[in-house]
Amino acid sequence: MATADLSRKTGVIVGDDVLKLFKYAQEKNFAIPAIVRSWPARKIGKSLTLMQNVTSSSTVVASLEAARDKKAPIILQMSQGGAAYFAGKGVANDKQQASIAGAVAGAQYIRSIASSYDIPVILHTDHCAKKLLPWLDGMMDADEKHFKEHGEPLFSSHMIDLSEEEVDWNIQTTAKYLERAAPMKQWLEMEIGITGGEEDGVNNEDVDNNSLYTQPEDILNIYQTLSAISPYFSIAAGFGNVHGVYKPGNVKLHPELLSKHQAHVKENTKSKEDKPVFLVFHGGSGSSKSEYKEAISHGVVKVNLDTDLQYAYLTGIRDYVLKKKDFIMSQVGNPDGADKPNKKYFDPRVWVREGEKTMTARVQEGLVDFNTANQL
């Protein structure tokens, strides 16, 4: 990629740089993985941006290391629950105070460390449903404060997810938040059509399957409403997406619907672009490479990965504990001798690092699958 086109080559990017990166992704048919979750501090010839949910400094480092080594941009995002975890489970969250504080702390940490990895990073927050809007309000307060001090928002972008609400209310409420974000050139992702399954306390496992498929008329309505306010927005359209990993055949994805959305918007807006809409793929874990490939070809620029990465992080720690079991049952004494110290085995920096390694490897796999690798 012509990072030469970006005003900021490394670290957290905002505004026009985010827009340029997403346009480049569409042109080169790749998507950026978004790394989802909040823990300690989602081989194709086309490419996507990978998004990762991060919950701690450990998962941040694992994601950045993967992107650096694969010469790829990446999206680091925090969910409401992940942000609260970052603040600490002992902090009250009845008014979203822990989630706000954790998100701000996580953003400041990521901003301070991201430039050390020599890649562009989009700093994003994940699903914000109607009941969580006070969380988004608090983060945007922090964005505006940061903007006054530094000329840019704290976060590159946010996601507002009102897909469970009535369509017109969803669109109009999203528009109000985009009006607030627009002066900061802040990106806003919205969702129309429900993503099935369960994630971070939001359970859509029993929704009507018809609700999983967004209609072209809704995409056009959203595009016309939001583009009149700002160009900095993307749409997570439903095409059968489900959070989590399910048996093959249990989830019916129809990425070809995304092509119809693009064609409908192009025709009705007289756009010169074949893919005028920036689309997002939610519920990416467990999908086939052919499904990723087709979705990317229709203008998807961001894919969420969460479940696969949670499991990858676990495997490194699990395997270490099983292998070193006899060396971590006490502070002193192991198969090498009753007086042998075990500190070098139970030091958290040792076993947490094993989780980082396996998570890094899985993120790298996603970067290759989405054709994001070697785009820098």
**Residue 282, beta-bridge partner list:** none
CA distance 103 to 163: 23
The conformation of residue 214, written as its DSSP 8-state character, comes to -
- Asked if 283 and 197 count as a contact pair (C-beta separation under 8 A), the reply is yes
Q: Strands 332-334 and 337-341, how do they pair? A: antiparallel
Please return the burial class of 343, using the count of CB atoms within 10 Å of its CB with bins 0-12, 13-18 and 19+: exposed
- Tell which residue, 316, 197, 305, has the closest CA to residue 251: 197
Ramachandran sector of residue 21 (left: φ over 0; alpha: ψ -120 to 50; beta: rest): alpha
Q: Which residues are catalytic?
A: 126
For residue 326, how many C-alpha atoms fall within 13 Å in the half-sphere facing its CB?
Answer: 7
DSSP E strand boundaries for 274-366: 279-281, 300-305, 332-334, 337-341
Q: Report how far apart, in Å, the C-alpha atoms of 261 and of each of 15, 221, 235 are.
A: 25, 11, 11
Q: Strands 187-192 and 197-199, how do they pair? A: unpaired
Q: Report how far apart, in Å, the C-alpha atoms of 165 and of each of 127, 168, 180, 321 are.
A: 14, 9, 21, 45
Q: Report how far apart, in Å, the C-alpha atoms of 315 and of each of 33, 154, 176, 287, 304 are.
A: 21, 33, 43, 20, 20
The conformation of residue 151, written as its DSSP 8-state character, comes to S
CA distance 312 to 363: 9
- Asked if 188 and 177 count as a contact pair (C-beta separation under 8 A), the reply is yes
Q: What is the chain's alpha carbon radius of gyration, rounded to the nearest angstrom?
A: 21
Q: Report how far apart, in Å, the C-alpha atoms of 77 and of each of 80, 307, 314 are.
A: 10, 14, 19
